[in-house]
Copies of this chain bind each other. A is one copy, B any other.
């Protein structure tokens, strides 16, 4: 199975692509969706963000959704454009250029890529679809050297996620499962904001959030003391934020 979609529609040109940074939370860690780049007869095999060139008959947003679906099977991730990358050094690595020119069957100089970000839960709908694709969820701390400038794109996506979460904390609740423990919520906040959070202060802060609602349900079958589950109440959130 190809690591790039077959080019069945005319390309707008061979210089504009889209790349998707889909970050997913598995309850414990933040992961990013990567695709494997390898082909017969190549001496290397590495990972990249799901991305490809745009077709002539589609807008940028349409291209991003299509490319993500074709390469990973993930649909309706809520992709949001956040930055274009167009440094002339993007295609500095001759291996990247060789790979691109074979995949695209065209001479490649510079590729300006439009980067998209999406935050999703890792659940059945976002893992089942990966089957049949060369795609996988990679924990952020396990990401090695990616192709092109994809490490830069990823690190700036993390900063983008932070400022989106500062502007609208509701985003973080979209990552959490429908029922979550405060430990899960705290871990997510620590990872997103990149700093340790004091447990006691955190519990105080949550108590002041009318939109984080305790449930009458507790964890089952855990070795440690079973923690309570909470849920996010969007209506209460909108009231408190107004």
Contacts and interface: CB of A to CB of B under 8 A. Distances in A.
What are the 10 tightest A-B residue pairs by CB atom distance, in nearest-first order? A60-B86, A84-B84, A84-B114, A59-B87, A13-B15, A16-B112, A12-B110, A15-B15, A167-B167, A60-B84
Nearest to A86: B60
Interface residues on chain A, size class: 20 to 34
Interface stretch (A40-48, A50-58, A233-241): A50-58
Interface of A: 12-13, 15-16, 54, 56-60, 81, 83-88, 109-110, 112, 114, 163, 166-167
Copy count, this protein chain = 2
Contacts of A163: 167
B88 A57 contact: yes
A62 to B, nearest CB: 9
A60 B12 CA distance: 20
A100 to B, nearest CB: 15
Given A56-B109, A81-B83, A112-B114, 19 more contacts: A12-B110, A13-B13, A13-B15, A13-B109, A13-B110, A15-B15, A15-B16, A16-B86, A54-B86, A57-B88, A59-B86, A59-B87, A60-B84, A60-B85, A60-B86, A60-B87, A60-B112, A81-B84, A112-B112
Contacts of A57: 88
6 contacts: A12-B15, A12-B88, A54-B86, A56-B109, A60-B87, A112-B112
